[in-house]
């Protein structure tokens, strides 16, 4: 019984470490794998190096990225940082010269 009480704090620390550190990392890794499996030709992406481009073709663990018209590079899927969605049209800002100003 004394040995269980002696090891209880160590067991609790390991349990808390797992819940606070390991479990969230596993969830992030799983979400990233799901995201990488959905990449298709024509998707606009940003790589971990900050390079933007359009996916030209996809293999098992590699893909071709078109970074400029006619310029393609082959990269690992792990280099995909995010799939870029087109930003929604921003509302036009008012023209400062068209505001009524007191003279």
Helix (H) or strand (E) holding 52: strand 52-58
Q: Residue 96, by phi and psi: left (phi above 0), alpha (psi -120 to 50) or beta?
A: alpha
pLDDT at position 86? 60
Q: Name the fold adopted by 40-87.
A: SH3 type barrels. (2.30.30)
Here the contacts of 37-41 (C-beta below 8 Å, separation 24 or greater) are: 38/83, 39/63, 39/77, 39/80, 39/83
CA dist 11 and 21 (Å) reads 15
Structure tokens at 95: 């023209």
Structure tokens at 85: 């969605």
Average pLDDT over every residue of 48-53: 93
> Could you report the per-residue pLDDT of 73-96, keeping only the tens digit for each?
999 998 998 888 765 444 555 555
> Could you report the per-residue pLDDT of 25-47, keeping only the tens digit for each?
899 889 888 888 888 999 999 99
> Could you report the per-residue pLDDT of 8-19, keeping only the tens digit for each?
889 999 999 888
């Amino acid at each position: 019984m004394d040995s269980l009480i002696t090891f209880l704090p160590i067991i609790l620390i390991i349990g808390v470490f797992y819940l606070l550190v390991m479990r969230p990392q596993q969830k992030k890794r799983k979400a990233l794998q799901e995201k990488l499996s959905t990449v298709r030709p024509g998707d606009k992406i940003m790589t971990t190096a900050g390079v933007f481009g359009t996916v030209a073709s996809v293999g098992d663990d590699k893909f071709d990225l078109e970074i400029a018209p006619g310029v393609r590079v082959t990269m690992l899927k792990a280099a995909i940082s995010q799939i870029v969605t087109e930003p929604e049209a921003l509302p036009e800002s008012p023209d400062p010269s068209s505001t009524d100003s007191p003279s």
